[in-house]
C-alpha cells in the first residue's frame, strides 16, 4: 500500500487542528502539527512577545518537516497540519512525495474571513497557548492585515485537493472527507 502524505491546511482559525485530529484518529495514523511543536518549544524555552513567538516558529519548522519525513521514510502515512500558505512549501512537499513515493493529498480549509477572525479572537482568549501571543491588540492588527482581509488558495500540489468551507462547522461531512481520502 502506498503511504499518503495528507495535508490539512488553510488560513488561521479554519479548524485545521480539529479536522486533522479526526482524520488521524479515524485512519489510525500519526499526525504532525506545527503549532503543537511550537507549543512544546514554548513550554521548554518560555514565551515572551510576538518576536519571540516568530523565532520559535522558525525553530519549530525544521522539526515539523523532519517528523513528516521520518514517517514517510518508514513507509507510513501521516497527517501534516499547518497553514501551508507559502509557495516554498510545494518544493519540500513534492520532494518528499517523490522520494518516498507517497501519495500527496490536500484538504484545504477555508472560511469567511470575518468568521475566522471571530474564532481567532475567541480562541486567543480561551484555549490558545499563550506563547503564540495571539491576544495582543498589536497582533490582531497585524493578523487583520495579513490574514483576515483575504481568502487564500490551496497549494498547487501534484496530487488531489479537496476544498472544505468551514464557515459553519455543522455542515462538514467528516465521513465524506474520509471516503475521499
User: Model confidence over 127-174: pLDDT tens digits?
Assistant: 777 667 666 666 778 778 877 887 889 999 999 999 999 999 999 999
| Sequence spans of domains, the chain | 4-180
Helix residue spans in 77-159 (DSSP H): 88-99, 113-124, 137-146
Cβ burial of 51 (10 Å; 0-12, 13-18, 19+) is exposed
More reliable by pLDDT, 33 or 12: 33
Confidence at residue 139, expressed as pLDDT on a 0 to 100 scale: 76
**What is the average per-residue pLDDT within 8-23?**
95
CATH of 4-180, one of 3.30.43.10, 3.10.20.30, 3.40.47.10, 3.40.50.300: 3.40.50.300
3-state secondary structure of 100: coil
User: What is the average per-residue pLDDT within 8-21?
Assistant: 95
Residue 89: the pLDDT is 94
Amino acid at each position: 500500500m502506498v503511504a499518503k502524505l495528507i495535508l490539512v491546511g488553510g488560513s488561521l482559525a479554519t479548524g485545521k487542528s480539529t479536522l486533522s485530529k479526526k482524520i488521524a484518529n479515524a485512519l489510525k495514523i500519526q499526525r504532525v502539527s506545527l503549532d503543537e511543536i511550537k507549543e512544546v518549544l514554548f513550554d521548554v524555552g518560555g514565551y515572551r512577545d510576538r518576536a519571540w513567538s516568530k523565532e520559535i516558529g522558525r525553530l519549530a519548522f525544521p522539526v515539523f518537516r523532519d517528523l513528516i519525513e521520518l514517517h514517510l521514510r518508514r513507509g507510513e502515512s501521516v497527517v501534516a497540519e499547518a497553514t501551508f500558505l507559502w509557495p516554498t512549501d510545494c518544493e519540500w512537499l513534492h520532494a518528499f512525495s517523490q522520494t518516498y513515493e507517497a501519495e500527496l493529498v490536500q484538504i484545504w480549509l477555508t472560511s469567511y474571513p470575518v468568521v475566522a477572525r471571530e474564532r481567532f479572537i475567541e480562541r486567543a482568549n480561551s484555549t490558545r497557548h499563550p506563547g503564540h501571543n495571539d491576544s495582543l491588540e498589536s497582533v490582531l492588527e497585524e493578523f487583520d492585515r495579513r490574514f483576515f482581509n483575504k481568502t487564500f488558495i490551496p497549494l498547487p500540489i501534484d496530487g488531489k485537493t479537496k476544498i472544505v468551507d468551514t464557515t459553519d462547522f455543522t455542515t462538514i461531512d467528516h465521513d465524506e472527507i474520509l471516503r475521499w481520502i
